[in-house]
Amino acid sequence: MIWLHNIFNFLALNLLRLFAFLPYAITIFIGYGLGWLAAHTLNERARVVKTNLRLCFPNLNDDEINHLAIEHWKLFGRSVIERSRIWLGSGKQITDMVTINSAITLGDRKPRLLINPHFVGLEGGFMALSVLANQHDWPRGAGLYQNMKNPYLNQKMIEWRNRFGGKSIERQSRLRDLIREVKNGNAAIIAPDIDLDPRDSVFVPFFGIQANTITSVSRLAKLSGAEVCFMTTTLNKDRKGYTCKISAPLPNFPSDDVEMDTARLNQCIEELVRERPAEYYWVHKRFKHRPPGEPSLYT
């Protein structure tokens, strides 16, 4: 069946190339359409989205949940199609789509961790920062990635992400590579709001629910002496592009309490999500792992 995989990879690659060079308005329209179809298809991820929304927004009725779920799927579909332009388009195409507003001096070579929550625009923020770093000869950004099931597309994704000088580091690898990058003045970009293996994680509140959350941000900040800032990429009001906002460093972070630091990050991310609930990645099983003795929230 290798030939079938090769055909799929060929078609997927050429579809991405097509979307990368279509007029931007058409790309957005197609993305919204695919998202709308996904929202109205009975599948596991559609159920996950509504479960997450009901858990996090218990004050919303069924009609409000359904409306929010559809809006999320449309934005998620848009973001998936937009990745063609982000991964394959020119630097100008990327910076035309994503504007960066920073409260810190970019390129100053300070040890720094950028916390990039899972909003639909997160990929664009990372790539726009890479383009600017390449243009201004700033230190590169280093980001963690999760391996895809398709090895061919996984390798292509790494190549596309790194084409402006950024570095992709496998999430499952040792953290010393990331620490080295930070100490060399390269900003490390981390998305900690994902439920991974319970190892090196703690259960801390997220929307009032105990969520399995990695502790690596607090530990990395302490080991590298890095300051920690939020990097949030969200849709503009005119819905024609995105703005990536990089915050000032979190004060008094890290502390001597890793669990308290991790809970603080979750609280900060929750506040950002409440401002733009439709843009958050509700397709993830954020509450997949449960504390001992608690049943699954997704069955």
Q: What is the pLDDT of residues 59-110, one digit of tens each?
A: 999 999 999 999 999 999 999 999 999 999 999 999 999 999 999 999 899 9
Q: Give per-residue pLDDT as tens, 133-151.
A: 999 988 888 877 777 777 8
Closest CA to 290 of 201, 216, 218, 217: 201
Q: Would you place residue 113 in the very low, low, confident or very high pLDDT band (cuts 50, 70, 90)?
A: very high
What's the CA gap between 276 and 291, in Å, rounded?
Answer: 28
> Kind of pairing, strands 227-235 and 142-145?
unpaired
Q: Would you place residue 193 in the very low, low, confident or very high pLDDT band (cuts 50, 70, 90)?
A: very high
Q: Would you place residue 167 in the very low, low, confident or very high pLDDT band (cuts 50, 70, 90)?
A: confident
Q: Where are the domains of the chain?
A: 2-279
User: Using alpha carbons only, what angle is made at residue 132 by residues 131 and 136, rounded to the nearest 5 degrees?
Assistant: 120
pTM of structure: 0.92
Which amino acid type is present at position 24?
Answer: Y
Preceding peptide of 117 cis, ω within 30°: no
Q: Report, in angstroms and rounded to the nearest whole number, the Rg of the chain calculated over CA atoms.
A: 19
Please give the share of the chain, as a percent, with pLDDT higher than 70.
95
Q: Give per-residue pLDDT as tens, 150-161.
A: 787 778 888 888
- Give the pLDDT score at 135: 92
- DSSP-assigned states of every residue in 125-193: HHHHHHHHHHHHTPPPPEEEEPPPS-HHHHHHHHHHHTTTS-EEEETTS-THHHHHHHHTTPPEEE---
- For residue 8, pLDDT beyond 70: no
